[in-house]
Structure 1
Amino acid sequence: MAASLNEKVRKTVNESKILVVGAGGIGCELLKNLVLTGFTDIEVIDLDTIDVSNLNRQFLFRKEHVGKSKAQVAKESAQKFNPDAKIISYHDSIMSPDYGVDFFQKFKVVMNALDNRAARNHVNRMCLAADIPLIESGTAENRTEETDLPVIKTSSFTLSMHDISSLIQGLTECYECQPKPTQKTFPGCTIRNTPSEPIHCIVWAKHLFNQLFGEEDPDQDVSPDTEDPELAGEAGQSALQTDAKDDAVVFTVNGNSMEKETTAYTSRPRSFTYLSASESAGIRDQKLWTIQECADVFSNCLPKLKAELSQQGEGGMLVWDKDDESAMDFVTAVANIRAYIFGIQTKTRFDIKSMAGNIIPAIATTNAIIAGLLVMEGLKILTGNIDKCRTVYLNRQPNPRKKLLVPCILDKPNPKCYVCSAKPEVTVILNTQKITVKVLEEKIIKGQLNMVAPDVEIDDGKENADKFLSDFGIKNGSRLKCDDFLQNYELNITIVHKRYTFSMK
């Protein structure tokens, strides 16, 4: 492909340093395309290691690579297409403080190939701070409710299904200019007492993981609601009243900072037929485990997680991660045991990982199309043809004009965007008498506003973490100035006090 470029474009390509964030499905295709186009100065970063389930669509990886760094193996495989290419790989998180504004300013263009919204938000802000064009790509929610496919965006590029879009500061909207669909939530009584779908059991298992190993959250209590059995409904009352000693599943973890016992008392299971180990073929992730296998996996991963927690020291905690083998085994085993107890069909580890990690599946063909579009949009930016950049949507079915690829003119920045506007600000509606400093920082500023290292103008955060906002005189109409020095991002937060509500606008 490089030979087809004219001399001027070829020279620009050869002199341009590119950052690729993500070495998964789209990232593998993108690295190959960049090398074949003639780019010789590339850096790639990815936190993940290679899993067997990646091999059907991440073509730079082979069976012997399982367990190794995605970024490192992708670098080695892509370099075979052009041994003269200089590729540097980082097996790390792009959200690490090591990758500040100075790091991003080394590049002519940044290309995202991520499946993690928090990381995508962070790269968006770092590119804004560094004033570097960002080409964003990934699988987005399907707007026609068909199976999800990829989309692309420029400058904060957006492609639909498979999405590619590009961000050029001040000219196009950033990745966070428009609100993204929020993750579906479920009533607490359904999770605790009356699960009816596999996802209910998966959420319960993740909550249990946090209670045992992570940051305990009263909103994620997994114990049955014994004080108000009416909330439990018929199934919940049965679970609470049935003498289920033979069928009860008891999870107990003692020692160190985990001196707690969580017991799930359950109704007797309904009958289901499950494949035995000998009847199930295929790799471990795609095999439906028997309940005995779930119990064995649970018993094996528990001491590993306990050892990991003890290494964190006093007050330490674990954060659930779909790519952590023991954490994923725990959730798979626990979710399936709970599903079995409530007469719900169990799922493979592969399916549970997709649901627990909010992964939208994509296939090799769509990844290849999006990666090709990424490079084409990158060439437009590097050659100064920004006016020709487009947001591209790859649809599952042709539109009325019989088009699968739908290019759209890039949208202008949203003047009300709390990330890229001239004076970023947001209004947070909450109960100042019930929200603590810790909740403000962890759940709102980090969790909802996607900051990484926030500094809010309230006294010492650690010492006062459990104090309520009202203790500091924060009330209706108060304004907080919040800085994130890593993201070089400043936000003004206006507090609206309401007794029962939490929301943002």
Structure 2
Amino acid sequence: MTTVTSLPHSLSESTRELIPKSKVLVVGAGGIGCEVLKNLALSGFEDIEIIDLDTIDVSNLNRQFLFRKEHVGKPKAAVARESILSYNPNIKIKAYHDSITSQDYGVNFFKRFILVLNALDNRGARNHVNRMCLAADVPLIESGTSGYSGQVELIKKGVTQCYECQPKAPQKTFPGCTIRNTPSEPVHCIVWAKHLFNQLFGEEDPDQDVSPDTEDPEAKVNGEHSVTETGNIKRTSTRQWAQEIKYDPAQLFDKFFKTDIEYLLKMENLWKNRKAPVPLSWKEYASYEGDNNEEENSVRTTDMQVWTMSKCAKVFSDTVSILKEELSGKSFLVWDKDDKPAMDFITACANIRAHIFSIPTKSRFAIKSIAGNIIPAIATANAMIAGLVVLHAFRVIIQEFEKCPSIYLRKKSIHSKFVLASDKQISKANPTCYVCSPKPFVNVFVNVEVMTVKEFETEVLKKHLNMVAPDAVLDGKGMVVISSEEGETEANDNKKLNEIGIVDGSILKCDDFLQNYELTVAINHYEAKNKEDPSFKVVANPEDLKAKEPLNAVESETKNGVEAKDVDSDDDLMIMDDDQEDPPEEDPQEGSSKRRKLNPPEDEVDEDLCIIES
């Protein structure tokens, strides 16, 4: 056991006096979080609080050194606290096994700390902590790594730019017809499997329909369907149909891997220059017997080996039954890469579909890495970034903010032999930022005759503008159109915006009580001319309104996401598991497909994942 008896001698006397008195919050106990906690404890910080929602997984053990095999399944925050106390039993450390976005952690909670250290794995939580620290006027040190790269950045209200001052790259997307009709890479099958999970057990989304896409331009002859109308699949709710057949695995299997594939084969145009898929039936693979020479549940057999089709069929059947029971009494399930039945379901479905389309199948471990957007984690990078985080912390507690420029870790420097480089000075706030500017304001271009109030709340306010529990009042009329109070404005949910008086030129005063955040939204009526155009557009910078083309002809890369060849990063910084392959290249056949975008694997990443800005 190591016990700290004195503070680092290289620090100034004023810093050495303040460190034991400084109360700090660490958000995240993953790869970087473990290193940061260790550094804080060994540097003399005596009042630390740690919050993390996750539990410990076997895949964490190769780099999150505060955890051991016996800790698997336990809360990260609690185990991290116990481990840190072994480094320094004299400190006060409190752990929360909870989400930082919970309403239990409002502005007053953040005001208790002199400093907040982010070690998060997703953009949504980062956005939230950024806003909470701005509202509480508490310095935030943001950090993250991606393989051999990393970044440390100070965020201080009125001094530096905030986390949302600069736009982040959109998540990688794929054309819907590629996912439904013509997959050519493992990632396409994995995205399809995740969509199937949501259709059967998760929150249903029409854009994630897994049935063959009859609107695929390649499937048409002279503009008409290449199959007769009587042959078209009847579009019904997958969830409703599954419930009607009581989630019978045989019928589900035949529907998705036989009937739908046979229907695709009728679209003859699709297979002129591609290898046609081969339908599979339940009877072919219904009988499965495990290998008697090794344990069925061993890590090597379950995670590292590529499953046979017979095993995939067996796992498909088993997980359907398990997930059906878990769904009982709930509206929907949320897919989690660390939930075994859910991950097994994705692995089985993705591999069966890959086999059908002559695509290489993958191990459960490899599929988890792709489905969870996991980038291989480098323990050394985590340690270096965590060290820089605490060096920044020393300067922050004595309010030397100007001495905390952003620092970048790179595998190879272009201009020198050094792997660490920093900005010459701190980055100033973006004057048009809709989060930290004095009077946050955005223009929202939306079809007020089509979008419903609920869609506006979910897609615009929550997903795009990152609010957690928004309220919206129609300026001039004082009418509350969206309320965070349950049931208060439920009657408005399915009404079109213009039906409740939100028209071109309307002004909405929006606020999020939890984030202590207010925003003025100007509504502009906008009609998409074709399917490629986005359903809405948010413009914060007035200069962006001076477009070279009308908004109805938005350039392709600014629509529903970047092209499939762009980097697939959940955030600016991300970290990953070791044996991840290089990101798949763009399907050369996608260029002629319908450019409707569908989300790839959800923005879930392994514990260390963060975002890194080049």
Q: TM-score, normalised to structure 1's length? A: 0.86
1:340 equivalenced with 2:355 (yes/no): yes
Residues 24, 259 of structure 1: CA spacing in aligned structure 2 closer, same or farther, 3 A cutoff? Answer: same
3-state SS of paired residue (2:508): strand
Residue deviations 1:432-483 (CA, integer Å, cap 9, x gap): 2221112111122111111111112216542222221121222222222211
Larger displacement relative to structure 2 (129-138 or 261-270): 261-270
1:475 equivalenced with 2:464 (yes/no): no
Residue deviations 1:208-255 (CA, integer Å, cap 9, x gap): 12222222222111111246673489xx989x999xxxxxxx997326
Gaps of 5+ in 2: 1-5, 232-238, 262-276, 281-289, 474-480, 483-487, 529-533, 540-614
Q: Which residue pairs with 1:492 in the alignment?
A: 520
Letter of the structure 2 residue corresponding to residue 172 of structure 1: T
| Structure 2 counterparts to residues 62-461 of structure 1, below 5 A | 62-139=68-145, 148-149=147-148, 161-226=149-214, 230-231=218-219, 253-254=242-243, 263-264=255-256, 265-266=260-261, 267-268=277-278, 282=300, 284-312=302-330, 316-408=331-423, 409-457=425-473, 458=481, 461=489
3-state SS of paired residue (1:432): coil
- Does the CA contact (< 8 Å) of 2:24 and 2:49 recur in 1? yes
Aligned Cα RMSD in Å?
3.0
Residues 463, 12 of structure 1: CA spacing in aligned structure 2 closer, same or farther, 3 A cutoff? Answer: same
Distance between the aligned counterparts of 1:256 and 1:93, measured in 2? 37
- Does the CA contact (< 8 Å) of 1:53 and 1:285 recur in 2? no
Distance between the aligned counterparts of 1:256 and 1:175, measured in 2? 48
Deviation at 1:386, TM superposition (A): 1.4
Larger Cα Rg: Structure 1 or Structure 2? 2
Residues 503, 101 of structure 1: CA spacing in aligned structure 2 closer, same or farther, 3 A cutoff? Answer: same
Residues 462, 180 of structure 1: CA spacing in aligned structure 2 closer, same or farther, 3 A cutoff? Answer: same
Distance between the aligned counterparts of 1:181 and 1:355, measured in 2? 18
3-state SS of paired residue (2:492): coil
3-state SS of paired residue (2:87): coil
- Does the CA contact (< 8 Å) of 2:26 and 2:48 recur in 1? yes
Residues 421, 196 of structure 1: CA spacing in aligned structure 2 closer, same or farther, 3 A cutoff? Answer: same
Deviation at 1:83, TM superposition (A): 0.6
Residue deviations 1:252-303 (CA, integer Å, cap 9, x gap): 7326998998632223179xxxxx9779973743333332332232222223
Residue deviations 1:367-421 (CA, integer Å, cap 9, x gap): 0000000000000101222111120110011221222101112210001111111
Which residue, 534, 538, 545 being the options, matches 1:504? Answer: 538
Deviation at 1:115, TM superposition (A): 1.1
How many residue pairs end up in the alignment?
Answer: 469
Residues 191, 109 of structure 1: CA spacing in aligned structure 2 closer, same or farther, 3 A cutoff? Answer: same
Q: Which residue pairs with 1:154 in the alignment?
A: none
Letter of the structure 2 residue corresponding to residue 293 of structure 1: K
Distance between the aligned counterparts of 1:241 and 1:398, measured in 2? 62
- Does the CA contact (< 8 Å) of 2:405 and 2:427 recur in 1? no
Q: Which residue pairs with 2:283 in the alignment?
A: none
Distance between the aligned counterparts of 1:169 and 1:66, measured in 2? 39
Letter of the structure 2 residue corresponding to residue 63 of structure 1: K
Gaps of 5+ in 1: 141-147, 150-160, 243-249, 271-275
**% same residue:** 58
Residue deviations 1:49-89 (CA, integer Å, cap 9, x gap): 11111111111111111111111111111111101111111
Larger displacement relative to structure 2 (213-222 or 281-290): 281-290
Larger displacement relative to structure 2 (279-288 or 1-10): 279-288
Residues 359, 451 of structure 1: CA spacing in aligned structure 2 closer, same or farther, 3 A cutoff? Answer: farther
| Higher RCO structure, 1 or 2 (CA under 8 Å, sep 6+) | 2
Residues 256, 213 of structure 1: CA spacing in aligned structure 2 closer, same or farther, 3 A cutoff? Answer: farther
Deviation at 1:6, TM superposition (A): 4.7
- Does the CA contact (< 8 Å) of 2:53 and 2:99 recur in 1? yes
Distance between the aligned counterparts of 2:460 and 2:246, measured in 1? 26
- Does the CA contact (< 8 Å) of 2:28 and 2:52 recur in 1? yes
Q: Which residue pairs with 1:8 in the alignment?
A: 14
- Does the CA contact (< 8 Å) of 1:437 and 1:461 recur in 2? no
Distance between the aligned counterparts of 2:321 and 2:20, measured in 1? 51
Q: TM-score, normalised to structure 2's length? A: 0.71
